[in-house]
Structures are given as C-alpha cells and as structure tokens.
Structure 1
Amino acid sequence: MAGPAAGTSRLLRAGMGAAAVGLLLIYNSVDVAPSSGPGPGQAAPPAATASASPGDAAPAAKPATPAAPGLKRAKPTRLRIPQIAVDAPFTELTVNPAGELNAPPPEDKNLVGWYRDGASPGERGAAVVAGHVDTTKGPAVFLLLSLLVPGNKVEVQRADGTVAVFSVDSVETFAKNAFPDQRVYGKTADSQLRLITCGGVYDKKRKDYLDNVVVFAHLESSRKA
C-alpha cells in the first residue's frame, strides 16, 4: 500500500451507542484537511447506525483452538504480532463531547489505540484495537494487517503483568458503507479481540479509504510477562 501524500490529516468520527447486542459502532474516517492527494488511513471505531448489512448475518469463523477463560480487566500496554513485525505501545482512545472518537496521534507511526470504555484485551467481550495503515509520515503500524491468516498469534502485554495471547480466526474486509457493526462490536460469550484499520482503494474525492480491514481473534491463552 502506497504511503500518503503530505499535507493531510484525518479525524475519526464516532457516535457511541448501546443496544441489546452490545456496543454498536461503525468505523468511518473523515478527512478534515484540504485535499492534496491520498491522505493517511485511520483506524478506530466510529459512528453508530441502525442500518443492517449483509455482513451482519454472516457467521463468525470457527476458532481453530479452544477459547481460554477470560481475564480480569487490565490496561493493555504493548501489542506484538510477530508475523507482520508489529511491536507497538498503546494509547487510550476516547470520545470527545461531539461524539467523535479521536484517532491515535498521526505523528507516531508505531502506536495503536484501545477503546478504553470497552472491554480490555483478555477481558470477556470484544476488545477494540485500532491503528493507522499509513500517516503523513509514511507507512504505519497496521500497514500489513490484512496479511494475517487464521492461526497467527497476537500478543497483548497488560498492566497487571500478564500477556494475553490471541489466535486469529479470520481477516476480512468490509466496505465502510456496509459495515457489519453487530458482528464486529456486539457482545461475545468469551474474550475476543478486534484489530481494525483502513483498507481498499483511497478515494481522492472523498479523501478516505473505502474499506475497513478487521481481524477477528479469540483469547487462546495467557501467561506472565
């Protein structure tokens, strides 16, 4: 994926809402800078919607390994994905008064964000981790996210001294205008992880990538750091 042209920055918009199936979010990024060619990809959960999409009914991939018992809540501190050379610290993602979820700082290419008002990685539920695919400074932490395959491992080091080890179940790409919010952000019976970034074609007129890449993973094991 080509790096972005200089002179652009993006803001992720997020409207947070609760529903019977849990937190329903749709990832959508909005460019707030003048157009000067392709801009940086953003990654984080945004605006809620009641609309359904074909992806909502699709069954989740069957885990290749059994799910481990959930862990107690603890802040994530570092994300490691050896298969795509990811070794990055976390920052917390929050929403502002306008209901917009602030993306990880674009000046740091090696940084991932965790939606702190959702499940923590390893805790029961679907933990949301987002990262840029690229920024104005070039390729970023989740540039190769789409290359993961089922069975790859994702390790999250936590502030309580444990490492949560997740196994990838599937890697899927969704059009932003048909994002399966319930499937990605709905309640889960066990500990799940969602890694999200932008993908697909960059639309110069919209100043946005057209798709999202989502990695679905489940907690396989845990150990002391």
Structure 2
Amino acid sequence: MRKRAGNPVNAVIGIVTALALCAGAWLLASGSEGHPPPQPSAAQARAGGGHEAPAAASLAPSPPDRIRIPSIRVDAPLTGLGLTRSGSLEVPPPERKNLAGWYEAGTTPGETGTAVVAGHVDNAVGPAVFYDLGALTRGRTIEVDRRDGSVAVFTVDSVEVYDAKSFPDEKVYGAAARPELRVITCGGPYSRRTGYQGNVVVFAHLTGSR
C-alpha cells in the first residue's frame, strides 16, 4: 500500500535520492570542467526568524503537473517518481532535459508537509531543467500547476548547497507543519572522476494560490 502525503515517508529517501542526478554528463562529454552551473552564495542560506513571507493555508491534495520558476526561466512538466530497491528516489529520464519529477508517494505540493521535486542539472548534450537552480535567491517565487486546476505559489526561504557526505536528510526531507517544497539538483564541487559532489537544495513554503 502506498503511503499518503503528510506522513514521514520522505525521511526514508536519504541522500542517495539525489546522487543519481549527479554524473555531470555534459561536463564530462564536453570537457567544460571550468564552466559548472551557478552555486548559491552564503547570503542565500536560511535567514533568522521573522524574515519569511507569511504562510498561506494548505490546499487539498492534488498531484502536480508543472513547475515554473520565472526568475531562472524554468517552465517544465512534472512526472511522478517512486523509490528504487535501494531506497533512493528514481530520477527523470536524463534524455528529457526539460523534465522534472516529484515524489508521488509523499506530499503533493500545496498540502501540509514536505513536497519533493528533483531534476537533472545537465545531460550528455547540455544544461538540463535545473541547471540555474543555484542562482535562485530568497524571496523569489515557484509556481506549481496542480491537476485540480489550481496553482500553488511558493516563496523561496533559502537556497543551500551540501556536500554529499554531510547531507542533512532530516532537514531536507523531514515532516513539516505547513506546506513546504524542496527542489533538488546536483551541485557543489565537480570532479571528472566522480561528477558533482553535492546537491543544491531550495527550501520554500506556500504563500498563495490561485
């Protein structure tokens, strides 16, 4: 039986969730090691209390169909992702560079809990859907089109980068008392031997809908 949204099922994903996104296929193929994707600055880390936009009331569960991040020119369809046998999140097909995925056994974006969206930073032929995710800044908006016809609007609270060896699973995937969203791709130092050695994570919360 599939676990429903709002349960702490997200916590089982673990850091292996995002590592499959991180081969750095384009950099490996092109030899462009000197031109990695943008990384978030320390200024985009989580601010102290009292600086976040007011949270909106949660929405009823509804699967998402599309994600838009206007400030970094993301406008992409979403596909459902499950877990592999090892407990990591499946990843979107790398050949579809403008496709992102959401963890469909967990929270749907807009309802109470932590919804998870993941996408590739590049593929073998060039930048992919979340190549510029590290350039996102606090206060920007993320819009998610939902199957019930509504649009969930999230405001970015922080954009952080973590080394794979010290990835904070509970902070990223743990349960939340309000509607929150995590958007994840690869980031951190890049090596031709290992690919990207960490992950960029966007933390956002629901601030409106239409």
Provide TM-score, normalisation by structure 1: 0.74
Mapped contact 1:123–1:191 kept (Cα < 8 A): yes
Which of residues 183, 201, 204 is equivalent to 1:214?
201
Work out the CA distance in 2 between the residues paired with 1:126 and 1:221: 16
Work out the CA distance in 2 between the residues paired with 1:85 and 1:153: 12
CA RMSD of aligned residues (A): 2.7
Work out the CA distance in 2 between the residues paired with 1:61 and 1:113: 30
Larger % of strand: which? 1
> How far is the alpha carbon of 1:30 from its aligned partner?
4.7
Give the aligned residue type for 1:199: G
**Equivalent in the alignment of 1:125:** 113
Work out the CA distance in 1 between the residues paired with 2:104 and 2:20: 21
Does structure 1 residue 38 correspond to structure 2 residue 25?
no
CA-to-aligned-CA distance 1:98-153 (integer Å, 9 cap, x gap):
43432101011101100001101001101000011001121001011011111100
The count of corresponding residues between Structure 1 and Structure 2 is 185
Mapped contact 2:77–2:99 kept (Cα < 8 A): yes
Mapped contact 2:162–2:198 kept (Cα < 8 A): yes
Work out the CA distance in 2 between the residues paired with 1:157 and 1:124: 17
Per the alignment, do residues 171 and 137 of structure 1 end up closer, same or farther by CA in structure 2, a change over 3 Å counting? same
Work out the CA distance in 2 between the residues paired with 1:216 and 1:142: 14
Mapped contact 1:61–1:169 kept (Cα < 8 A): no
**Equivalent in the alignment of 2:70:** 82
Work out the CA distance in 2 between the residues paired with 1:61 and 1:160: 35
**Equivalent in the alignment of 2:122:** 134
Which of residues 181, 185, 210 is equivalent to 1:193?
181
Work out the CA distance in 2 between the residues paired with 1:162 and 1:37: 38
Work out the CA distance in 2 between the residues paired with 1:166 and 1:37: 31
**Equivalent in the alignment of 1:44:** none
CA-to-aligned-CA distance 1:196-224 (integer Å, 9 cap, x gap):
0000222222x33111100000000011x
Mapped contact 1:78–1:157 kept (Cα < 8 A): yes
Work out the CA distance in 2 between the residues paired with 1:203 and 1:162: 42
- Percent identity of the aligned residues? 50
Gaps of 5+ in 1: 1-19, 40-57
Give the aligned residue type for 1:122: G
> How far is the alpha carbon of 1:68 from its aligned partner?
0.6
Work out the CA distance in 2 between the residues paired with 1:161 and 1:169: 25
Larger % of helix: which? 2
Gaps of 5+ in 2: 1-6, 30-44
Does structure 1 residue 23 correspond to structure 2 residue 23?
no
Mapped contact 2:46–2:158 kept (Cα < 8 A): no
